[in-house]
Amino acid sequence: MAKSVLVIGGGPAGLGAARILGRLGVPTILVEKEDRLGGSPVLNSYYTLIPRKLKPEQVLGPYIKEVESNPNVQVKLKTELVACKGEPGSYKVTLSNGETHEVGAIVVATGFEHFDPRRKGELGYGLYPDVITNLELEQMFSKEGRLYRPSNGQLPKRVAFVFCVGSRDRQLGVTNVHCCRYGCALSGLQAMEIKQRYPDVDVFCYYIDVRTYGTWEYPFYWAPQEQYGVRYIRGRIAEITYSPADGRLRVKHEDTIVQRPAEVPMDLVVLVLGMEPSAGTKKVAKILGLAQDPNSKFLIPSEESGSNIVSNKPGIFIAGACKGPIDIESSLSEGEAAGAEAAVFVGAKVTV
């Protein structure tokens, strides 16, 4: 019988890997440090996912159901990897619940975490209640079903999206020189969701570039402008202040098209957060000896392989947001590819 495979992380990439391994009949151990599967989209109550505008339960529900019911997959919640010894083909792993297992291959899918905007003090997050994150806006929709200003509970007249918060930035110890990839598209989607419900609210997107790459260009950049009148203003917000006179915020920036400084009143400011490797990703990289980007600490694929799911250690595959910003559907497919690679590596005899 083939050796088993350890999948670390129960988010989209880990679920993709565990599901394909289960389907191929490979004994699989899935460890997840939280108390339920689904990863960030489920744990953080995302509202609508880009690019197909589906709900997290629609996308991840079938994966969770199949992984939990497949007898080949053992799901271990509230469990983390503690130590790993041995060599490729027979890794001896110790888990936080005291168990030890011998596995043939490992799929690392430990994911990302959202940038903490308190590290950009000039943006006033935590200081002014009406400065919120795009994650909080998602939760406003998913949990409360309405848009409001946290300071007074009323509908804002103007909403500003501040792009690239904690992305493309090497200031203040922030080493996130990468682009978050999802921010422009999600902001376009959130702006449309606001305009669909409240057509009289004016929405502004402050950008440096708009990077709705590939097929995302029309649905998440053109449509918000053309169909909903969302305004895109070129200029990076450098400071957010509060005016006690009218109780509104001021977004300070240079409009780089007009080439003039601007301080424009806004009622609600949404910070579009960047992505960073999760604490788990950094920890697992240390335990397994995986190569990391010196700046961002994201995992980096093997230099010899053209495929980005192959790590620098034989038998260890990396998938999803642990190696850089990625969208959910790509995370799922990378997980599935990593799972299939792991099955091949442990010599699984597949009969379907």
Using the rule CB under 8 A, is 1 a contact of another protein?
no
Using the rule CB under 8 A, is 222 a contact of another protein?
yes
Least distance between another protein and beta carbon 274 (Å): 24
Using the rule CB under 8 A, is 262 a contact of another protein?
yes
For another protein, the binding residue among 53, 143, 231, 349 (CB under 8 A) is: 231
Using the rule CB under 8 A, is 226 a contact of another protein?
yes
Using the rule CB under 8 A, is 236 a contact of another protein?
no
Decide whether 33 or 250 has the Cβ nearer to another protein.
Answer: 250
Least distance between another protein and beta carbon 23 (Å): 44
Using the rule CB under 8 A, is 293 a contact of another protein?
no
Using the rule CB under 8 A, is 234 a contact of another protein?
yes
End-to-end CA distance of the chain: 16
17's tokens = 């890997």
Using the rule CB under 8 A, is 218 a contact of another protein?
no
Least distance between another protein and beta carbon 263 (Å): 6
Q: Map residues 27-46 to x or -, x wherever contact with another protein holds by CB under 8 A.
A: --------------------
Decide whether 159 or 264 has the Cβ nearer to another protein.
Answer: 264
- For residues 183 and 156, is the Cβ–Cβ distance under 8 A? no
Using the rule CB under 8 A, is 255 a contact of another protein?
yes
Using the rule CB under 8 A, is 282 a contact of another protein?
no
Choose among 233, 268, 235, 232: nearest CA to 250. 268
Residues 56-75 close enough to bind another protein by CB under 8 A: none
**Pairing assessment for the beta strands 4-8 and 100-108 based on DSSP bridges:** parallel
Using the rule CB under 8 A, is 121 a contact of another protein?
no
Distance CA 180, CA 167 (A): 6
278's tokens = 């999760």
Least distance between another protein and beta carbon 158 (Å): 9
For another protein, the binding residue among 191, 233, 290, 321 (CB under 8 A) is: 233
- For residues 189 and 55, is the Cβ–Cβ distance under 8 A? no
Q: How far is CA 137 from CA 144, 234, 238, 264, in A?
A: 10, 22, 21, 21
Q: Which residues contact 343 (CB under 8 A, 6 or more apart)?
A: 2, 5, 20, 21, 24, 26, 350
**Pairing assessment for the beta strands 112-114 and 275-277 based on DSSP bridges:** antiparallel
For another protein, the binding residue among 163, 232, 298, 345 (CB under 8 A) is: 232
Using the rule CB under 8 A, is 225 a contact of another protein?
yes
Distance CA 6, CA 120 (A): 38
Decide whether 243 or 305 has the Cβ nearer to another protein.
Answer: 243
**Pairing assessment for the beta strands 239-243 and 248-255 based on DSSP bridges:** antiparallel
Q: How far is CA 11 from CA 136, 274, 329, in A?
A: 20, 18, 12
Residue carrying structure tokens 């600490």: 297
44's tokens = 């953080």
Decide whether 215 or 351 has the Cβ nearer to another protein.
Answer: 215
Using the rule CB under 8 A, is 196 a contact of another protein?
no
- For residues 84 and 93, is the Cβ–Cβ distance under 8 A? yes
Decide whether 116 or 202 has the Cβ nearer to another protein.
Answer: 202
Q: Which residues bind another protein (CB under 8 A)?
A: 202, 210, 221-222, 225-226, 229, 231-234, 255, 257-258, 260-265
